[in-house]
Each structure stands twice: as structure tokens, then as C-alpha cells.
Amino acid sequence: MAFADRLLAAWYTGHPALALLRPLEALYRRVVMRKRARFLEGGSASYRAPVPVIVVGNITVGGTGKTPMILWLVEHCRRQGLRVGVVSRGYGAKPPRLPWRVEAGQGAEQAGDEPLLIVQRTGVPLMIDPDRSRAVQALLASEPLDLILCDDGMQHYRLARDLELVLIDAARGLGNGRCLPAGPLREPAERLLEADAVLYNGAEADRDNGFAFRLQPSALVNLRSGERCALDHFAAGQAVHAVAGIGNPRRFFDTLQGLNWQPVPHPFADHAQFSAESLAFSPPLPLVMTEKDAVKCRGFASDDWWYLAVDAVPSPAFIAWFDSQLARLLPTHRQP
């Protein structure tokens, strides 16, 4: 197990050696709290877009379901007649220049895996740049939009925001509740009190301090042919090689098991780069991966490689709350 994986496991299961990192945690907390205070006081230069900006992010390291939630928000806002754009850091992307407009035919090495997935699934206008404020300005200069969704960016205070949605893995929660590097928190837990909404991925029901949402598998999609098959394509008990290069691979493996398959787990680092050699497993079995990983593997995929398409399903209470926020942010907008 790599050091990063061991550290992540320690944050969520506990380890006495983490106490040695508390002096560094105290320093980290002071830095992030000072940065937040400057933003709230108006002392740090931040860009205010002429349209509402909704940040979808988290305060923990590791996957919380941001990309499926972005996909849901894009489609939901479009059903309201809104012209939506998305900005993203583009983690791991190496575009020729920044800001960079992501198109469906680009490679993941150029566009980043998550931005490319979002564009290929929805066709939404999407700009990547570590400077999210610059990405927003470039996107608005390219076409008229009513609303901007910022994929991640909770801690990117150079971009002013009108709404903050914080996602938390319901099973893992906030781990040991400590900030980096002694724990998984990017900001202290009190930061949740300042967010507009907290959503718990995998929660059975809404909570007093947040809404529930779940990730629902919808289809198996063949990487080579694009064939879309029902989830009963594999019989119950089918053994499959399961590949996940996401923030929380265990959630993906559990999902496959919940579909009554027998996954042979192959966890990779988040945003991992793949090759045919790195995915040449034995014995020969069907291979199932996440959609985020699939955008990087289509060029060398074998015939029996699939990705599991999943959709975010937020609670009715969240949908009602979110629609009320859209009405507040866009009072002159009328549904067609």
C-alpha cells in the first residue's frame, strides 16, 4: 500500500502516529482560517461574476460524488430553461494554454478526466483553469450564460460565490475531524456551518444538518462499441475485474457487490493514468471501471471492458430547496 493510501486509511480509521502531525495541523489551520477571514472581510481581491455562481465542493480529501452531482445540477437547471456553464480546475490536465475550453473529442491528458466526462455526458460549455475566476470570465466571454457551476473550488476564494453546496461521504464522514496533515479536512469542521447546504452521499434520509443523496447505477456501457446494456447484462454472481481510480474506490467496489456481482478489486490513485499493461489482469474476466476512468481508457480498451454509469439522486427536500434558491438568485427568469 502506498504512503498516501496508508495516510488516508489512518485519517478514517485512526492511528496514534497522527498525533505527531498536530503541530503542522495547527499551522495549516491558522493559514486557512486567515485566508477565509480575509475573504469575508473583503480584504482579498475576488471576482464577482455578473451571473450567479454555485460552488459544489467538499472540505475533505477524497471522493464525495461531486461529478455526479454536477451532472445532475446541469440537467436540472437546463430543465428550468437556464443556460448553464461549468468551470473546473482541471486536475492533471495539460492544455496548450489557460483558460482552456474542453471539447468532447479531446483527450483526458489535455482536458482532465472529470471535465472531459462532464462534457461528453452533457455537452455543457466548460472551461478549465486553476484560477477559477479567470475561467469564469473566459466562459462568459465565449457565450451568454445564466448560471455558472464551479466544480470544486470551496477553498478558492478568488472567486466570489452565491451558493455553496458541500458534499460529504455519509459512511466516512469527516474522519478523525482533524485538518491536514493530521486528518482529512481541508478546512475546520466549523466551516460547514457557513455553507448554504450540506449533502450526504449515501445517507438513507435527510439529516438535521443536511440533505441526502445517493448514486444510482443506471447502465453498463462498453468502452469500445459504446453499447449501453441493462444492469442484468451480467448474471448474478459474475466475477469481474473492478477498476477504480477515484477518491474512494471502496464505494465503487461496494456498488458492484450490491449489484450481485463478485468484484475483484483493483484500486488506483485518484486521477491515475492507465495503460493496457496496467490493466492486464489474470484470470481473464470482464472488466468494469468507473466512468471517470473510462474516458482515459477508450483508446486501448478490450472488447469486454465496461464502465458503470451512475446518476446522482438527491432527496425531494433538496430539490425543493434548490429550486427556491434558483428563484432567489434569478428572480426575473421564467420557465419556458
Which residue numbers in the chain have pLDDT < 50? 336
* CATH code that applies to domain 3-212+314-329: 3.40.50.300
Which pLDDT value is given to residue 221?
96
Q: Give the residue extent of every domain in the chain.
A: 3-212+314-329, 216-312
Name which of 123, 146, 119, 148 is nearest 133 in CA terms. 148
Which pLDDT value is given to residue 308?
96
Q: Say if residues 252 and 290 touch (Cβ distance below 8 Å).
A: yes
Q: Give the C-alpha separation, 139 to 84, whole Å.
A: 10
Q: Which three cell numbers stand for residue 278?
A: 496496467
Which pLDDT value is given to residue 306?
97
Which pLDDT value is given to residue 43?
63
pTM tops 0.85: yes
Which pLDDT value is given to residue 336?
46
Within 8 A by CB and 6+ apart from 243, the residues are: 266, 268, 274, 279, 287, 288, 289, 290, 293
Which pLDDT value is given to residue 6?
81
Angle at 121 between CA 201 and CA 322, to 5 degrees: 45
Q: Give the C-alpha separation, 51 to 162, whole Å.
A: 9
Which pLDDT value is given to residue 2?
64
Q: Say if residues 184 and 18 touch (Cβ distance below 8 Å).
A: no
